[in-house]
Structure 1
Amino acid sequence: MHHVVFIVYPGFELLDVSGPASVFNGANRALRQRGQPAAYKVVLASAEGGGVESNAGVTLETRPIGALHPGEAQTVLVVGAEREPLLQAMANPVLRAALPRLTAQAERFGSVCSGGFVLAALGLFDGHRIATHWEACKPFAAAFPKVTVDPDALYVVEGRLWTSAGVTTGIDMALAMVARDIGAAIAGEVAGRLVLYARRPGSQSQFSPILRAQVRADSPFADLIGWMQAHLDAALDVPSLAARAGMTERTFHRKFVAATGETPARFVETSRLDAARLLLSRGLSLKSVAAQVGLFPPARLAEAFERRFGIAPRLFRDMHAEL
């Protein structure tokens, strides 16, 4: 039984715990349906133990972190919070004393969302590349110059160290753990039961192109952008998009830039490359990916992919494809 220990403290982000914990529970359920024993036990720990209230007002019962034995902490994850609760956790003497011991003995350790601040304050991230919530990237880099912050990744894996970006990306990271521990089939089944849109690789951007557009309130192109995402293999040039939007090309270009912050050409390429990364992570051929995302022939995909990400798509697929 693999023990996954979540380290919480007053004011912690509830979804940082409940999301990944649901993944591990889902893996146990899938295994039991196959007549196999459960693989995970979720443990909640805090400095003093007892009830700890989350940011949502929900209180979780925890064990004292000092009472955990090495065999009860194969995976140790510190969860995130807003600024004030996080600062208090970083200064907590019990956590500061216990976390170096626990993480040293764990098979893997890391953080969900801004929980990485707690570990970084102890020097446990020095020399490593990590992920954290997009709002925290700049302050994290400024506070811990020995740590390389990846502002784009959903989660980053470096040996025993696992770190995820904002909130729901803890689910993506937990699925990746399940895939590595048990297999992609179980991870895929869990993702389906949680009604996730897709199992996202860690290299996927924190902000998809469509989410960036949706963040901008009252975008007049919301319907068009949704159509574009579903028809990446179609002609998505300015004349075609302007006609679909019922505008002149000049008006369309001006209003699209104002609404999304990007030119139509840049937005389309970003959408296509974002989709290409997801498809490549599933092990699809370059020819198939190029056709599906509208960057055919494969040489066109390769040129755009390498220009944007600094790595050839074939190498990216070999590095990230699910087994």
Structure 2
Amino acid sequence: MHHVAFVVYPGFELLDMSGPASVFTSANRSLALSRKPPFYAVDLVSAAGGPVTSSSRVTVETRSLEECARKALGTLLVAGAEREYLLPALAEPAWATWLPKLAGKAQRFGSVCSGAIILARLGLLDGHRVATHWDACRPLAAAFPTVAVDSDSLYVVDGRLWTSAGVTTGIDMALAMVARDLSADIAGEVAKRLVLYARRPGYQSQFSPLLRAQVKADSPFAELIAWILANLDAPLDVPVLADRAGLSERTFHRKFGAATGQTPARFVETARLDGARMLLCRGLSLKSVAAEVGLSPATRFTEAFERRFGVSPRLFRQMHADP
């Protein structure tokens, strides 16, 4: 069996552990339904073992790092925490004694959310590209200049190192692990069982255009943005959007920029290109994708995609499309 060990400590973020753990145990359930043996064995480990209380006051039972080191290890993941819990955790001497050894013997290792900071403190991220929670990106990059922090991706795979951004992205990363270990079909079954909206690829931004707007003080344009995302193939210029919002073009341009931090044109292009990436992952032709996101003809779509992402949509499809 593939042994998965989650490293936790007092005040850890519960969902950093429980979300990915549910993915692995759900994969076992999918295997059982096909009369196949379980693949994953999940353990929680801490410095000394015993009960450990999360930031949400839920207490979990753990094994010690020393005990974990006696087993063959498939995956080692360090959970994250808020600053007030992470700082005391960084002072734990057991990390330096055991985590490098465990990371060295594991088939893969990594972190969820700000757990990356613990790995960075031990030098385990040097020379690697990593993801972490958006709020920890700048401190991580400043404190560890040899670490290439990807502030946009949901999760990053760099050799044996797997790191994810904030909280729920650990689920996305775990699904990608299941797809690699077992199959994309089983990962899809797990996503369906957990009632996930979608299996998100790692390159996707930590914030969708809709979420970026919603976090701007309850944006008055939330309904309009939802309509934009549902109608990417429609005309989405300022006159159309202003009319739908019931504002003059000048007022709409000013208020929309204040609410979203982007001009309407930039926002629409971002939404269209994000939608295009999802469609390319499904293997659709460039012509079909361009039409569905309102960037026809395909030459216009290709130019916009290359300008934004530095790679052609054709190559992106080859790299990311499901087999």
TM-score range, shorter chain: over 0.9
Q: Shift of the alpha carbon at 1:322?
A: 2.1
Q: Shift of the alpha carbon at 1:283?
A: 2.3
> In 1, Cα distance between the equivalents of 2:282 and 2:86?
36
Q: What's the secondary structure of 2:42's corresponding residue?
A: strand
Q: What's the secondary structure of 1:153's corresponding residue?
A: coil
Q: What's the secondary structure of 1:32's corresponding residue?
A: helix
**Counterpart check, 1:12 vs 2:33:** no
Q: What's the secondary structure of 1:80's corresponding residue?
A: coil
CA-to-partner distance for each residue in 1:201-250, whole Å, 9 max, x for gaps?
10000011100001012311111111111111111111111111122211
What does residue 139 of structure 1 align with?
139
| Stretches of structure 2 lacking an aligned partner (at least 5 in a row) | none
> In 1, Cα distance between the equivalents of 2:297 and 2:194?
36
What does residue 218 of structure 1 align with?
218
What does residue 311 of structure 1 align with?
311
Shift in CA distance, 281/70, structure 1 to aligned 2, threshold 3 Å: farther
> In 2, Cα distance between the equivalents of 1:177 and 1:284?
24
**Counterpart check, 1:64 vs 2:70:** no
Q: Quick check: 1:280–1:317 contact (8 Å CA) kept in 2? A: yes
Q: Shift of the alpha carbon at 1:70?
A: 5.2
Which amino acid in structure 2 is aligned with residue 82 of structure 1?
A: E
| 1:139-218 pair list within 5 angstroms | 139-218=139-218
> In 1, Cα distance between the equivalents of 2:257 and 2:251?
10
What does residue 234 of structure 2 align with?
234
> In 2, Cα distance between the equivalents of 1:103 and 1:42?
16
Q: Shift of the alpha carbon at 1:84?
A: 2.8
Q: Shift of the alpha carbon at 1:115?
A: 0.1
Which amino acid in structure 2 is aligned with residue 34 of structure 1?
A: S
> In 1, Cα distance between the equivalents of 2:189 and 2:292?
24
**Counterpart check, 1:27 vs 2:40:** no
**Structure 1 stretch 274-283 or stretch 183-192: which is displaced more?**
274-283
| Stretches of structure 1 lacking an aligned partner (at least 5 in a row) | none
Which amino acid in structure 1 is aligned with residue 166 of structure 2?
A: G
Q: What's the secondary structure of 1:123's corresponding residue?
A: coil
Which amino acid in structure 2 is aligned with residue 207 of structure 1?
A: F
Q: Quick check: 1:131–1:155 contact (8 Å CA) kept in 2? A: yes
Q: Shift of the alpha carbon at 1:186?
A: 0.6
Q: Quick check: 1:3–1:42 contact (8 Å CA) kept in 2? A: yes
> In 2, Cα distance between the equivalents of 1:12 and 1:72?
25
Q: What's the secondary structure of 1:189's corresponding residue?
A: helix
Q: Quick check: 1:155–1:202 contact (8 Å CA) kept in 2? A: yes
Superposed CA RMSD: 1.1
Which amino acid in structure 2 is aligned with residue 191 of structure 1?
A: A
CA-to-partner distance for each residue in 1:142-168, whole Å, 9 max, x for gaps?
110110000111000011000000111
Q: Shift of the alpha carbon at 1:2?
A: 0.6
Q: Shift of the alpha carbon at 1:94?
A: 1.1
Q: Shift of the alpha carbon at 1:23?
A: 0.7
Q: Shift of the alpha carbon at 1:14?
A: 0.3
Q: What's the secondary structure of 2:224's corresponding residue?
A: helix
**Alignment size in residue pairs:** 323
CA-to-partner distance for each residue in 1:247-291, whole Å, 9 max, x for gaps?
221121111112111111000001111111122223222222212
Which amino acid in structure 2 is aligned with residue 195 of structure 1?
A: V
